[in-house]
Amino acid sequence: MVRDGYRFAFPLFVVSVGLLSLRQTVWAAAVGLLTAFVCWFFRNPHRTIPQGAGLIVSPADGRIVQILELKAPGEEVPAARQVSIFMNIFNVHVNRAPVAGRLESLEYRRGRFKAAFEEEASRVNEQNVITIRSQETTVLVKQIAGLIARRVVCWKRPGEALERGEVIGLIRFGSRVDLVVPMGTHILVREGERVKGGSSVIGELV
């Protein structure tokens, strides 16, 4: 379980024990089940990280809802590709570094809380924009808040070195993560495909 889960699980556990000591077995069981759900929700399962030069792994668990080309303002030629991953409440909620490198910048952007599966959520919703520079390239990871998920958390800070697949943050409680990669990246996933953070290969630098 990731560290953010303890602030929710421990108080619930204490309440459950207290209710049990008062012989309120039904309520104790209910709170105990809620405690178990919180521990499950904040789980951080082991992942086998793919090895190989130029591989970009998924930053999150979920379903690929969109793959599109991005153009710089005033430009006609696409400059990057964006892969959007929708995380529902049942997915693992930790986010991972898609490449090994250095966290170059972390920008928090205030915004709205539209449903994360909507296309404009990437532009208008509250989000963290994480820039990671590797030896080969620079990628962006956007942790995007949603209708229910109102909290995006990045545990890393600018200047820190990251390993491919390393846990970097968390989104509570389900939402969306956008991965922005160079235009020349060979994308290996399709819309509708389910991916796992740290172990599914999203693309390969060519």
- 102: CATH: 2.70.70
Do 135 and 87 belong together in one domain?
Answer: yes
For residue 22, what pLDDT is reported?
85
Do 147 and 188 belong together in one domain?
Answer: yes
Do 19 and 104 belong together in one domain?
Answer: no
Buried b (16+ CB within 10 A) or exposed e, 134-167: beebebbbbbbbbbebeebbbebeeeeebebbeb
Which 3 state secondary structure label does DSSP give 59?
A: coil
For residue 148, what pLDDT is reported?
62
Show the domain range for 77: 55-204
Q: What is the mean pLDDT of residues 24-40?
A: 89
What is the rounded CA–CA span in Å between residue 46 and residue 175? 21
* Res. 56 pLDDT band, cuts 50 70 90: very high
Q: What is the mean pLDDT of residues 2-11?
A: 79
- Under a CB-based contact definition with an 8 Å cutoff, are residues 54 and 106 in contact? no
Do 196 and 122 belong together in one domain?
Answer: yes
- Look at residue 118 and tell me whether its pLDDT is greater than 80: no
Of 58, 84, 134, 175, the catalytic one is 175
Share of the chain above pLDDT 90, in %: 58
For residue 95, what pLDDT is reported?
96
What is the rounded CA–CA span in Å between residue 137 and residue 142? 17
Do 105 and 168 belong together in one domain?
Answer: yes
- 105: annotated active-site residue: no
Q: What is the mean pLDDT of residues 55-73?
A: 92
Do 144 and 178 belong together in one domain?
Answer: yes
- Look at residue 85 and tell me whether its pLDDT is greater than 80: yes
What is the pTM for the complete model shown? 0.85
Q: What's the mean per-residue pLDDT of the chain?
A: 89
Q: Is residue 50 part of a domain?
A: no
Provide the domain count of the chain. Answer: 2
Do 118 and 170 belong together in one domain?
Answer: yes
Task: Quickly count: other Cβ atoms within 10 Å of residue 180's Cβ.
Answer: 21
- Look at residue 3 and tell me whether its pLDDT is greater than 90: no
Do 71 and 116 belong together in one domain?
Answer: yes
> Quick one: which H or E segment has residue 36?
helix 25-41
Do 10 and 66 belong together in one domain?
Answer: no
* Res. 137 pLDDT band, cuts 50 70 90: very high
